[in-house]
Amino acid sequence: MLNDDQLLRYSRQILLPQLDVAGQEKICAGRVLIVGLGGLGAPVSMYLAAAGVGRLVLADGDTVDLHNLQRQIVHDTASIGQSKAESARTRILALNPEIRVEICGKFLDADTAGEAVSGVDLVVDCTDNFATRFAVNAACVAQGKPLVSGAAIRFEGQVAVFNHGADAPCYACLYPDASEVPETCSENGVLAPLVGVIGSVQAFEVLKILAGVGEPLSGRLLLLDGLAMRWRELRLPKDPLCRVCGKPV
């Protein structure tokens, strides 16, 4: 049941007939793990907090550095040197004190991803660490949890929802060779608002899945060429031989 403050705070979402009070209640009951509180995790955590997702778990083992502030807008100059998870928690609780925010102050790996994923309904992958990405994906496949994945580099980004619905692909279906991982922005640079665009699409998909509205970006890979400002969409089939989600032969 939403109280009067919540009905007012979330009124512009409740006004959407597809959501209404029932959809907002589902969002408020949602438990979401955000892996990485950098460029993508910044808009994801702020929009999910503002929109009322009831419990957020923030996982990041890094501290805020001056060169992060160009795009990681959940942190500010006073946060330099602080844990990214702590800094993000302070900011999003100021935005919405109604929600619960827990911290996991380490980088998730194959040993820790399973436990972190088990406590939530859905996972948002906002990291640029590929060992973490693959570990989180494997935990999501093992536990049947949807994974909303984003990536941003230079002027280009991509978004997809994995492991959601029948015959849905997983992240490893997209990268069959784990040794052949994409590049990261620490080596290549990134234009500030690119992470805002891609992270906002991730937050959008999370809210749709929690509320059970619309058509999730599952089995499709959305690609943005920011220099031309063009979106493309690729069909992303499940790989029956996938090392993570394929059936053993």
Residues that bind Zn ion (CB under 5 A): 170, 172-173, 242, 244-245
Q: Which one, 182 or 214, has the nearer CB to Zn ion?
A: 182
Task: Answer positive or negative: Cα dihedral of 169, 172, 177, 183.
Answer: positive
Cβ closest to Zn ion, residue 170 vs residue 236: 170
Q: How far is the CB of 62 from Zn ion (least distance, A)?
A: 28
Give the Cα separation of 184 and 218 in Å (integer).
24
Q: Which is nearer to Zn ion, 74 or 147 (CB)?
A: 147
Q: Which residue's beta carbon is nearest to the bound Zn ion?
A: 242
Q: Considering the complex, what minimum distance in angstroms separates the CB of residue 6 from Zn ion?
A: 38
User: Considering Cα of 202, then 232, then 161, then 34, what sign does the dihedral take?
Assistant: negative
**CA separation (Å) from 239 to 28, 143, 154, 167, 199?**
34, 19, 29, 9, 26
Parallel/antiparallel/unpaired status of strands 147-153 and 156-162:
antiparallel
Pick the closer one to Zn ion by CB: 151 or 185. Answer: 151
CB 113 → Zn ion: shortest distance, Å?
Answer: 16
- The least CB distance from residue 33 to Zn ion, in Å, is 19
